[in-house]
């Protein structure tokens, strides 16, 4: 299977000033593309030659896992944004956040803490449990909750390449900007699936 860089659902400058065109040119255009290119070089002749990304995440190790998970993680991350994003979730997702965390503000505070305290590089995820409740998980490096049979709803990339060009080493500023571009309609659809 040949993997391709998915097209962004918005232009490269559409998320500014929260995420700049320059950051997207590097983060999406170079980093994300590099994971796609690396994966396409690694899978031929292996048991993952015809596997999809979810199977690679669940069963691969080493470079194939790292690059496959990073392709999936970045696609999921970028698809969670909208130039008209921000605000608050609604409907079933809003109700589940309140039931799981007490309030949106409590959820946001816990998510911010998880994103701000994850050591080094990785991802913070909002996941849906089988019973419909929500939880926050931290994953180092290319970690993905699919590997643990958990259902991802939302993620933030806390690798420095996600924010360094815009805010340098000020991860809290990046986390604050993250909430201003979230596409809650898309995230709500993920919850309902």
> Does residue 12 form part of some domain?
no
The strand pair at 151-157 and 134-140 is best described as unpaired
pLDDT for position 68? 98
pLDDT for position 1? 81
Q: Residue 143: how many CA atoms within 13 Å on its side-chain side?
A: 18
Tokens for 7, please give them.
């097209």
> Does residue 106 form part of some domain?
yes
**Residue 188 · residue 92 · CB < 8 Å:** yes
> CA-to-CA distance for 24 and 4, rounded, in angstroms?
17
170 and 99, same domain (yes or no)? yes
> Does residue 68 form part of some domain?
yes
118 and 138, same domain (yes or no)? yes
Domain that residue 55 falls in: 21-79
> CA-to-CA distance for 186 and 10, rounded, in angstroms?
14
Q: Which of 31, 58, 79 is the last residue of a domain?
A: 79
pLDDT digits (tens, 9 = 90+) for 95-114: 999 999 999 999 999 999 99
CATH number at residue 122: 3.55.40.20
49 and 140, same domain (yes or no)? no
Q: Which of 79, 100, 117 is the last residue of a domain?
A: 79
97 and 179, same domain (yes or no)? yes
69 and 96, same domain (yes or no)? no
pLDDT for position 57? 98
171 and 133, same domain (yes or no)? yes
155 and 97, same domain (yes or no)? yes
122 and 171, same domain (yes or no)? yes
Query: Which pTM value belongs to this model?
Result: 0.97
> Does residue 75 form part of some domain?
yes
Number of structural domains found in the chain? 2
CATH number at residue 49: 1.10.287.990
64 and 98, same domain (yes or no)? no
Instruction: Please spell the DSSP secondary structure of 87-113, one letter per residue.
Output: S---HHHHHHHHHHHSSHHHHHHHHHH
pLDDT for position 132? 87
**Residue 54 · residue 146 · CB < 8 Å:** yes
Sites in the chain below the pLDDT cut of 50: none
> Does residue 8 form part of some domain?
no
């Amino acid at each position: 299977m040949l993997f391709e860089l998915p097209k962004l659902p918005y232009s490269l400058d559409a998320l500014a000033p929260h995420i700049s065109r320059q950051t997207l040119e590097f983060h999406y255009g170079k980093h994300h593309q590099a994971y796609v290119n690396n994966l396409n070089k690694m899978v031929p002749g292996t048991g993952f030659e015809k596997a999809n990304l979810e199977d690679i995440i669940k069963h691969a190790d080493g470079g194939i896992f790292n690059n496959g998970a990073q392709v999936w993680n970045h696609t999921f991350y970028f698809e969670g944004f909208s130039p008209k994003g921000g605000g608050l979730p609604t409907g079933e997702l809003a109700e589940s956040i309140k039931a799981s965390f007490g309030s949106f503000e409590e959820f946001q505070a816990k998510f911010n803490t998880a994103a701000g305290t994850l050591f080094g590089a990785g991802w913070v995820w909002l996941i849906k449990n089988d019973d419909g409740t929500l939880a926050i998980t931290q994953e180092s490096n290319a970690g993905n909750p699919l590997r643990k049979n958990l259902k991802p709803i939302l993620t933030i990339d806390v690798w420095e390449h996600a924010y360094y060009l815009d805010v340098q080493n000020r991860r809290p500023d990046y986390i604050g900007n993250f909430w201003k571009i979230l596409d809650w309609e898309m995230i709500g659809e993920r919850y309902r699936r």
